[in-house]
Amino acid sequence: MRLNHITIQTEAFEKEIEFYQKYVGLTVSRDLHPFGKNIVFLSGTTDDTALEIIEKPGATDSGNENISIGFQTDDLEKMHNEFCSDGLNPTPFISPIPQVQFFFVKDPAGVNVQFI
């Protein structure tokens, strides 16, 4: 068994898609618009766990302080600077042990996204 997808329901549908395309490099792997649904699946490759984005009016904060989605990046400082430049207010760098460093930023739906 493997993790197939993670779902985010949001009022900020287009902004959510743009966030994951721009900052994480995900692309639309499935688009249900042709079937009358505002649902897309984003992934890095066809074998990756997908991120399902569903448009849901009134879902203004899909975040939960106890849940986050994590992505590994090759240039943590560059990512942090990009979020700062774009006004997205990432957290300061966190380093629970010397070999690990990461930060969090909220996506347009309010979900905590960790970059490590």
Give me the mean pLDDT over the 51-79 stretch: 92
> Residue 47: what pLDDT?
80
Q: Which domain range does residue 53 map to?
A: 5-57+69-115
Work out how many domains the chain is built from and give that number.
1
pLDDT tens digit sequence for 104-113: 999 999 999 9
Q: Which CATH number belongs to the domain containing residue 9 in this structure?
A: 3.10.180.10
> Residue 34: what pLDDT?
84
Residue 40 within any structural domain of the chain: yes
Q: Residue 115 in contact with residue 103, Cβ under 8 Å?
A: yes
Q: Rounded to whole angstroms, how far apart are CA atoms 116 and 111?
A: 16
pLDDT tens digit sequence for 3-51: 999 999 999 999 999 999 999 999 999 999 888 899 999 999 878 899 9
pLDDT tens digit sequence for 83-116: 999 999 999 999 999 999 999 999 999 999 999 9
> Residue 109: what pLDDT?
94
With cut-offs at 50, 70 and 90, classify the pLDDT of residue 74.
Answer: very high
Q: Which residues contact 13 (CB under 8 A, 6 or more apart)?
A: 38, 53, 54, 55
Residue 64 within any structural domain of the chain: no
> Residue 106: what pLDDT?
97
Residue 62 within any structural domain of the chain: no
Residue 100 within any structural domain of the chain: yes
pTM for this entry: 0.93
Chain center to CA of 32: 19
